[in-house]
Amino acid sequence: MVAYKFPKQEAAKSFFESDENMELSKLRQEITEGFAIYVPEYKFD
């Protein structure tokens, strides 16, 4: 399992749509299985 933390949803979207990530994603998809989801920040009281 891999978890990334981004300050805002826009930052996560920029990362996942970046050319660098797209290149690495091709390799990752050849050797692993998985998916990505966005989970908004939740603050405990």
CA distance 35 to 4: 13
Predicted local confidence at residue 41, as pLDDT:
79
pLDDT given for residue 28 in this prediction: 84
Q: What's the pLDDT score for residue 26?
A: 86
Indicate if the pLDDT at residue 2 is higher than 80.
no
Residue 31 half-sphere exposure, CB side, CA atoms within 13 Å?
4
* pLDDT value at 9 more than 80: yes
Closest CA to 21 of 12, 30, 33, 32: 12
At residue 11, the pLDDT reads 92
pLDDT tens string 23-38: 988 888 889 888 888 8
